[in-house]
Chain A
């Protein structure tokens, strides 16, 4: 008799079946069922708050609030059946539901916590990576894009610029190198788009509710996409003349071509999302005017577009920002960390010189079409990715020399190593241990940057090295343009009308990260405005979470208490290949545009993989969505069977050791004990064409010829297995000296003939 299922788990199975099979026809009932399913899943995996059960009960009551359902015969109405079923389960099993909420445990262990693969868990948007890699490996690019867009509406963009936390956590990296997840996504998106197979999923009918999104960056685009799919009327307000936010005006075109952003934004626009460009919130539209138009929820995705000032003498003058009024009032207080005396303002400098620009403004100007070179000799101040972008952009605009001045050394540079190396290849000079002290000029334009040499010193009780100026080490770097790239912050102009939102001490919007809800009712926020300058994928993930939270807000569903576990959409069959192939396949090297062209054009620097490279690379995936690396197979093989054929050194996160799948066949006897103990059917035994195969997520670890009973033709196992059995039983049973190979039954018949 089957073990009775946990009622929480069985409710999930029941509702999932009802929803997936399309048995629920009425949209209202479908919505209620989806909402209940979401809440019950959270109860199941221990993520629910104390209001969840009450909310489920209220939703169940909603099934019966429609008279038309009650008027119909209960027996022939599928929709009312669901309500009746759920009501009876909740009445009968309320204590079990309550116990799940209070203890976070399931006594029957049916409600195991979902364990998506490490790459999926690492992705801030929670993309089902193993599934889409399998699809790409099979050449199903459009299907892969469909899977990705359930969690990320901008797969092509992310395929080119994601910081790829997934690859950092990729288990394959413990064997050799991580799977090139990022670029496979870009390939699939490009191919699907090119073939016209990049499609939007079906939308729910409009529900009559309006949401206003402020900012068309990655967070705003992500939220607008998911809200539009859910049936909301979405308007995006954008102060720039284009969509994309920092994607468009912060990331240079040689890393992310404009067409990529435009095409993916067009897909979102096709869902009916209204984009209002050149529209500044607070100036061109107001909160009151939007509320009068019927907008009931607001999503703030304003980014972090303001640059920190260097705080050195001459900065304001040569950036043309100093005014006579501010000088007179003494309001132009700088935030120098180097020289306090720089706070005073030199009245000789009143005027409007040129040559100093902040990196955000510079990159924006170039992205929007102003391709004038900032100067012949450009100095960039900073050591992060934005500084590198500004340096490489300056080179492409025709600067004769570009120097990046950074206070610490190369090893402390916060920029990505690849970016630094590419900048060096292109000819960017680096001046490390350089502290800018003042900007020199001739009264009209910049002529140089005064600097001090620094040395790195550890402060007491700390490991961090701090740059300290060396006395008397002054020198000047000649320059006619200086670009500051020392960080950005959130521009709060216009946000004052949201009087209920709180700001963190870092100058970002305070939210509950589980739902991106601010402290003002109906106002949500995500992206750089919440995190400070961060990654594209974090903004996309935040936008998606906010869209879900806005939907809950409209439907009066309590918000989750802790972050949602990413969803595994399906279990794609693993691709079969030999252990040798699995080990031999290596991550392909990315070809780059030739160096001369890189220096002078904004053509995409990475040339991409060929199709063969992509398909092979996808096949390197270990399918950690199936093998959860519990290690039971290893334990059984080593401790119970005494063989120790399975040596998977990659299973341990902290101390991985060597792995070679090819070695399993040296000692494995294909007994199947590992497969019998695998809780997730990751390691399996198959018998095919007279052979017994041991497979781990599609990788054939061993294949041995099967032997058959010479009397009845029953399968006996492999020769190695029979030797093992014979050896193990030698001391407990007399070995028959047989000429013929017989199974147990035939042997008994032969020994004890009737």
Chain B
């Protein structure tokens, strides 16, 4: 699994996925934490739940996220 619960991430780019909504552009550059990864099937295509600092919790496509040290 690429993302695990509790890992810190950054929304580093817009996703090309249809689940990306216009208001999510504001998320780019924001750091957060994986709160619920794909707990069912470990699918790289699944939307995963992330909590973004000061912005709330959302399900985002994985291609817009990267881990931060």
**Chain A interface residues (CB < 8 Å from chain B):** 115, 118, 121-124, 126, 163, 165, 168-169, 308, 382-386, 408, 411-417, 463-464, 486-488, 504-506, 510, 512-514, 531-535, 538, 561-563, 565-566, 653-654
Contacts and interface: CB of A to CB of B under 8 A. Distances in A.
A64 to B, nearest CB: 35
A537 B53 CA distance: 19
B28 to A, nearest CB: 14
Interface in B29-52: 31, 33-47, 49, 51
Contact of A414 (B6, B40, B49): B40
A413 B39 CA distance: 8
A168 B38 contact: no
Given A532-B47, A538-B49, A653 B31 contact: yes
Contact of A121 (B5, B34, B51): B51
A385 to B, nearest CB: 5
Contacts of B40: 382, 384-386, 414, 486-488, 533
Contacts of B39: 384-385, 414-416, 533
Contacts, number: 114
Contacts of B59: 531, 534, 538
17 contacts: A115-B54, A123-B57, A163-B35, A163-B36, A168-B51, A169-B51, A384-B39, A384-B41, A385-B39, A414-B37, A416-B39, A464-B44, A487-B43, A531-B47, A538-B57, A562-B23, A654-B8
Contacts of A535: 36, 49
Contacts of B58: 513, 563
Contact of A512 (B21, B49, B68): B21
A535 B21 CA distance: 21
Nearest to A123: B57
Nearest to B46: A532
Nearest to A419: B39
Given A463-B2, A562-B26, A121 B56 contact: yes
A514 B5 contact: no
Given A464-B2, A534-B36, A118 B41 contact: no
Nearest to A560: B23
B6 to A, nearest CB: 6
B17 to A, nearest CB: 9
Given A487-B41, A654-B8, A414 B1 contact: yes
Could you tell me the dominant secondary structure of chain B's interface residues? loop
B56 A504 contact: no
A551 B23 CA distance: 22
A169 B18 contact: no
A169 B31 CA distance: 12
Contacts of B47: 506, 531-532
Contacts of B8: 653-654
Q: Which of A168, A408, A415, A463 has the most CB of B within 10 A?
A: A168
B5 A383 contact: no
Contacts of A124: 49, 56-57
Contacts of A532: 46-47
B61 to A, nearest CB: 10
Contacts of B43: 487
Interface string B1-13: 1100110100000
* Most chain A CB atoms below 10 A, which of B8, B35, B58, B68: B35
Contacts of B31: 653-654
Contact of A412 (B1, B21, B49): B1
A563 B56 contact: yes
A115 B35 CA distance: 20
B68 A654 contact: yes
A565 B55 CA distance: 8
Given A121-B51, A535-B49, A414 B38 contact: yes
A513 B36 contact: no
Contacts of B38: 414
Nearest to A530: B59
B38 to A, nearest CB: 6
B59 to A, nearest CB: 6
A504 B18 contact: yes
Contacts of B18: 504-505, 510
A534 B35 CA distance: 11
A697 B8 CA distance: 27
A563 B54 CA distance: 12
Contacts of A385: 39-40
A169 B26 contact: no
Nearest to A386: B40
A532 B53 CA distance: 24
A533 B54 CA distance: 25
A513 B51 CA distance: 15
A251 B53 CA distance: 30
A385 B5 CA distance: 13
A467 to B, nearest CB: 10
A565 B21 CA distance: 17
A292 B35 CA distance: 44
Given A115-B54, A169-B33, A654-B31, A412 B26 contact: no
Enumerate the 8 nearest inter-chain pairs by beta-carbon distance, A residue then B residue, closest first: A165-B35, A562-B23, A487-B41, A122-B51, A384-B40, A487-B40, A414-B39, A412-B1
B23 A514 contact: yes
B15 to A, nearest CB: 13
A113 to B, nearest CB: 9
A121 B57 contact: yes
A168 B6 CA distance: 6
Given A123-B57, A382-B41, A415-B39, 9 more contacts: A169-B51, A383-B42, A384-B41, A487-B43, A488-B40, A512-B21, A513-B58, A532-B47, A538-B57
Contact of A408 (B5, B21, B42): B42
Contacts of A123: 57
Contact of B42 (A115, A386, A414, A654): A414
Nearest to B59: A531
B49 to A, nearest CB: 7
B13 to A, nearest CB: 16
Contact of B51 (A165, A384, A506, A565): A165
Contacts of B45: 506
B41 A168 contact: no
| Most A-side CB within 10 Å, residue of B31, B40, B45 | B40
B1 to A, nearest CB: 5
A222 to B, nearest CB: 16
A44 B38 CA distance: 36
A77 B47 CA distance: 54
